[in-house]
Structure 1
Amino acid sequence: MKKSTYLITLFLALTFISCSKDDGDSASEPESSASLIAGDWDLTNFEIADGKSTLSVQGQTSVTDYSSTGKNFASVITFSENPNTLVSSGSFDTVIEMSVDGVTTFTQVVPGEDYLVTGTWKLEGDELTITNEALEQTDIANVLTLDTTTLIFEINLNRTLQVSGFPFELEGTAVYTLKRK
């Protein structure tokens, strides 16, 4: 079980450090929203409160609830227009807390590595599509807030990956908060 917990923790840490999605706006018109996104943004908060992970190993399935929060933020995301590209730099630490039946079984701080996103973005209404070329992954973020100073968006995670050759399912809602530099 310790090895499974370690593998889950390692996977979650890598997912949170390497995944990044950004936002759009639901309160403005598409043209003005796209203009609002352009610029440099500091990542100031990251949170997953409703996470669930499922790992299947040799016919046994382990389901664990988890939450994750960021801290020690030193990450900047730059959105450019025409063409609509984005690049991130910096890092942040991730605190992962796992629980079974509401009882915390494991907490770990995972030191941040480079928070890398390089790709393109597209805003349609309150949906921000981010294509991360580094991960060959596309995500759709729901923009909760977009104004001249704040960008908040959420991404619904629903991924199946292989961890040491075993299927690992990750679910939850990641919420990112950015402040204009």
Structure 2
Amino acid sequence: VCHWRGCSFCVFGAVVGQWQSVLPDIQAVLTDAEEKQIKNEGVKKWLDDLQDLAYDVDDILDEFAYEELRLKLQKTQSQASTSKVRKLIPTCCTNSNFTPTSFLFKNSMIPKVKDITARLNNLTTRRSSLGLSDILSQVPTSKGKQPRLQPTSVVDGSVEYVGRLEEKTEMIELLKGDNFNGV
């Protein structure tokens, strides 16, 4: 862990921590948002924006994973320097982390991470203005999920339907019988 104040690259861990604190709040309102999107176009737009953000975050995480693999491979191929001067440089900027490629990668990621953070904060603010409630915290269950509604039947059993009694009886006999005439 680098504790050098001048290092702008060490903010990635803090930003990811911010993302992790906001995402559960958004996840908790998804059930309410999915129900309200039918009647409220603003909620539908919010869900669409949230999905776009999720795809962009996934892309950024893929880029980080690729860079991590690249650095691991590069580290195994190179020898670490143990000079006294290099020990004075923060760990985030030494060894395989301080190559032109990794420097360019980190510089290219800073605006992307800032954009994602701004969009995430915007979605959180819009969530409040849309009146989306935290369904999961209101009705806790043993699994922490919203209980499913019981299915209802459209057919009313107290109503007696008239007519076609012969066809009904014939259909029941066909279903019960060993008739293999293509039925």
TM-score, normalised by the number of residues in structure 2: 0.22
Structure with the higher fraction of residues in helix conformation: 2
TM-score, normalised by the number of residues in structure 1: 0.22
- Answer with 1 or 2: which has the greater Rg: 2
Structure with the higher fraction of residues in strand conformation: 1
Higher RCO (C-alpha under 8 Å, 6+ residues apart): 2
